[in-house]
């Protein structure tokens, strides 16, 4: 498959992307994800978790959060973490609620989407899904590469982003399946199903004989725009 180099692909707002975002806003607390409506302490913790994750190359542990927020006791911190979990800013492990397994857009475990930064300020980290990966450059305002794979053929999908524009794609017809079967939280429903495909043909092959799911197949510039909408202003206090 042909690669395209030295291009400038910008996020593109389409009716399809607009409808997807509007649907997400009707299902999720999007304001809370951006810190709106949170208390000062809740928003400070939200900001700390998101800003520290790429610096550490992993999501901070609850022990590290306890050390950062010494003005609060462990019980108060856990209450805030539970609140952030409830509105799906983060996702705590189901059993004990003692580990953050997702802090969107970052994953606490290995996924198909590895983010490699072009600055020493940040370490490599995994994103929760394809659209999350495409949104990270806007949230951090930095250049990066996404190392993922086609869900059908397992071939590498590599995307390079500079100045919040895609400048290199190793497959010219990369598309993103945006799953919309939301339940409980994004980490356990949408994220695992939002993936890159090296071409629409490979998506159709993957989809063949599978149960019909609610969602949309997006061109890369549409998915890029959704990433921008979801994450560009998440680090504003």
Give pLDDT, residue 45: 98
Domain annotation covers residue 19 = yes
pTM score of the predicted model: 0.94
Per residue in 106-136, pLDDT (tens digit) is 999 999 999 999 999 999 999 999 999 999 9
% pLDDT > 70, the chain: 98
Query: What CATH number has the domain bearing residue 173?
Result: 3.30.450.410
Q: In the chain, which residues have pLDDT < 70?
A: 1-3
Query: What CATH number has the domain bearing residue 47?
Result: 1.10.10
Using a 10 angstrom Cβ sphere, with 0-12 exposed, 13-18 middle and 19 or more buried, the burial of residue 63 is exposed
Domain hosting residue 12, numbered range: 4-28+111-231
Q: Are residues 134 and 219 located together in one domain of the fold?
A: yes
Number of domains in the chain: 2
Give pLDDT, residue 109: 95
Point out the domain boundary residue: 45, 72, 107. 107
């Amino acid at each position: 498959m042909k690669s395209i180099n030295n291009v400038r692909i910008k996020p593109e707002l389409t009716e399809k992307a607009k409808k997807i975002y509007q649907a997400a806003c009707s299902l999720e607390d999007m304001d809370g994800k951006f810190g709106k409506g949170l208390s000062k302490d809740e928003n400070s913790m939200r900001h700390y978790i998101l800003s520290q994750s790429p610096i550490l190359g992993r999501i901070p542990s609850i022990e590290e959060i306890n050390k950062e927020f010494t003005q609060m006791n462990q019980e108060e911190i856990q209450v805030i973490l539970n609140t952030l979990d409830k509105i799906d800013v983060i996702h705590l492990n189901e059993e004990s609620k003692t580990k953050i397994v997702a802090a969107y857009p970052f994953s606490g475990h290995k996924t198909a989407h590895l983010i490699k930064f072009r600055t020493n300020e940040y370490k490599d980290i995994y994103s929760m899904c394809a659209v999350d990966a495409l949104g990270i450059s806007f949230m951090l305002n930095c250049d990066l590469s996404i190392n993922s794979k086609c869900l059908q053929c397992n071939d590498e999908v590599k995307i390079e982003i500079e100045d919040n524009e895609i400048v290199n794609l190793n497959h010219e017809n990369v598309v993103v399946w945006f799953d919309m079967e939301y339940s409980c939280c994004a980490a356990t429903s949408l994220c695992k199903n939002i993936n890159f495909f090296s071409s629409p043909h490979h998506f159709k092959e993957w989809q063949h004989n599978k149960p019909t799911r609610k969602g949309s197949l997006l061109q890369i510039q549409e998915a890029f725009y959704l990433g921008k909408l979801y994450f560009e202003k998440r680090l504003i206090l």
